Amino acid sequence: MQTLSAQASLLQQSRIKPLELVFWLLAFAAPVLTPSHALIINEIAIVALFAISLDIILGYTGIVSLGHAAFFGLGGYAAALFAKHVMPDPMVGLAVGIAAATLLGLIASLTILRGSDLTRLMVTLGLGLILMELANKLDWLTGGADGLQGVVMGPILGRFEFDLSGQTAAYYSLSVLLVFFVLLRRVTQSPLGATLMAIRDNRLRAMSIGIPVNSRLTLAYTLAAAVAGAAGALMTQTTGFASLDLFEFHRSADVLLILVIGGTGWLYGGVAGAIVFKLMQDFLSSITPQYWMFWIGLFLVVLVLVGRDRLIRPWTWLGTGRKGQS
């Protein structure tokens, strides 16, 4: 009887709630309702996908990474190069981008298994910089600092052409986001996801109850890399352009911020953060285009000083601060 009720309560958590359906319906209706904002909806979808990929390693597995843009950029460049030199079909290009990022993630996961937070931070940061350096120096392939131009995408599934207003692109990105979201939702609520969270909370204890820590970390990192690669591929496919900007450090920092705004360890956190972040960026850069960086910095400092978990719950601001935060 005990096991049954435990099972029931676990299943209860993973059930799809009506609000989620409403949210996704709204998301898919948005490009039609406000056609003029289709471009930014497309961007939000891509950034949201990127953010939930980081959530897999940061929120669920507890690895602080400053170089997640490496996978984003690699996926983007792979998809763009594939479209330019081999065939312009977006779906195949997406698969190529994901495959490239997965491969890199698998190799790179060897580097995050050992060491402290600082070591991991350095290694992930270094990886991002190496890839940026590579893309910069291999200019015969990537166009170097000028970026890769002349990427022409074919119609999606041979039917839907990319249009200038970005509606097709928005639907394309939203669909890919939905597919990965459902997939990751399934993964994080499976026993596998529970073991990842156990590793995050107490690595030693996880090891002693028989969770294969290293192989789980590898798996989570590779999965996150694959999803980040997909986001990168979407980015270059919908803009038709790949540049060094994909690998930039501020991209890794931005995605951390996005995830933190929405809340870590919660897949909707990435999506919510992406919406807030992009709208804020749109708004602030229309006022002060050049100094957007200052405001984002200020926001980060205030966010941390107030406390990340309290910012999204304004009613706790006036209460007494919680003690014993570790």
CB neighbours of 255 closer than 8 A, spacing ≥ 6?
Answer: 47, 50, 51, 54, 68, 69, 72
CA distance 109 to 67: 12
Cβ-based nearer residue to other proteins, 305 or 318: 305
Q: Cβ of residue 161: shortest distance to other proteins, in angstroms?
A: 39
Q: Cβ of residue 152: shortest distance to other proteins, in angstroms?
A: 30
CB neighbours of 92 closer than 8 A, spacing ≥ 6?
Answer: 82
Cβ-based nearer residue to other proteins, 85 or 323: 323
CA distance 112 to 56: 14
| C-alpha dihedral, 135 to 79 to 220 to 218, nearest 10° | -60
Q: Cβ of residue 23: shortest distance to other proteins, in angstroms?
A: 27
- Residue among 7, 55, 1, 38 nearest 271 (CA): 55
CA distance 58 to 104: 18
- Residue among 244, 249, 194 nearest 220 (CA): 194
* HSE-CB of 91 using CA atoms within 13 angstroms: 8
DSSP code for 317 = S
Three-state SS at 158: coil
Q: Cβ of residue 317: shortest distance to other proteins, in angstroms?
A: 16
CA distance 103 to 113: 17
156: left (phi over 0), alpha (psi -120 to 50) or beta: beta
* Distance from the first to the final alpha carbon of the chain: 37
Residue numbers of the site for other proteins (CB under 8 A)? 58, 64, 66, 110-111, 114-119, 121-123, 125-127, 129-130, 133-134, 136-137, 249, 253, 256-257, 260, 264, 290-294, 296-301, 303-305, 308, 325-326
Q: Cβ of residue 217: shortest distance to other proteins, in angstroms?
A: 14
Helices (H) and strands (E) in the chain, counts: 15, 0
Three-state SS at 160: strand
Cβ-based nearer residue to other proteins, 42 or 124: 124
Cβ-based nearer residue to other proteins, 39 or 112: 112
Structure tokens at 210: 């028989």
Cβ-based nearer residue to other proteins, 25 or 110: 110
Cβ-based nearer residue to other proteins, 111 or 316: 111
Cβ-based nearer residue to other proteins, 237 or 252: 252
